[in-house]
Amino acid sequence: MKRIFIFSATVILLLLQTSCICIKKCCTPEQIPQGLITNSQAYNLQTNYRNKQEQIQSGHAAVYADDVDSFWFSKEKLKEYICYAEEEASKNGKTVNGFRIYMGAYPLNSISDSKIGYNTVFIVPTEKKTLPPVNSNAKMSGSDASTETIEGNNSEDINSVSPLDYAGAGNPPKVFRQ
């Protein structure tokens, strides 16, 4: 009986060690992911998008009939970015709890004529915000507030990790099918 226990414990430890090695090996970026942008570039993309939306709403800008409205990242690119973000965040003592996706738009003097003024998205890792103590008598507003929504609202961007841009765009626009 003691031998079976020792054998079982040894097998379990080996499996755990092997899986940890695989996880670390699989999640250690060998190179910096392609498609990273600076925080300044991300800020400019979002500013361009907001300005474009204001101009469209006020009737002072042309609406692009074939503007991009869907974006695609390969599974490998997302995995690579997640690993990169977790590694970079941990170097700064931060823990990634999720990712925020921002809308952006390329400037009118874009690097490529095919992107001028068109929408894009960029991804930024987040961490849990340090919140002040909560009043135990306070009630949460909204009956449909999910745990993810609450956690997302209580998360802040990790600015020490470069955002990811340059997704494949659905151009011409792809129609979502039910």
At 25-61, the pLDDT tens digits run 556 656 788 899 999 999 999 998 898 888 888 877 6
Q: Cis omega before residue 173 (within 30°)?
A: no
Distance of CA 163 to the CA centre of its chain: 8
Q: What is the mean pLDDT of residues 85-100?
A: 94
On the 0-12 / 13-18 / 19+ scale of CB atoms within 10 A, 69 is middle
Return the domain boundaries, the chain.
29-129+145-169
Question: Is it the case that residue 117 has pLDDT exceeding 50?
Answer: yes
CB 171 within 8 A of CB 68: yes
Question: Is it the case that residue 76 has pLDDT exceeding 80?
Answer: yes
Mean pLDDT is lowest, of 65-74, 128-137, 154-163, for 128-137
- Adjacency order of strands within the sheet including 119-128: 98-105, 119-128, 155-157
Question: Is it the case that residue 162 has pLDDT exceeding 90?
Answer: yes
Q: What is the mean pLDDT of residues 93-113?
A: 84
Model confidence band, residue 11 (pLDDT cutoffs 50, 70, 90): very low
Question: Is it the case that residue 88 has pLDDT exceeding 90?
Answer: yes
Helix (H) or strand (E) holding 15: helix 2-26
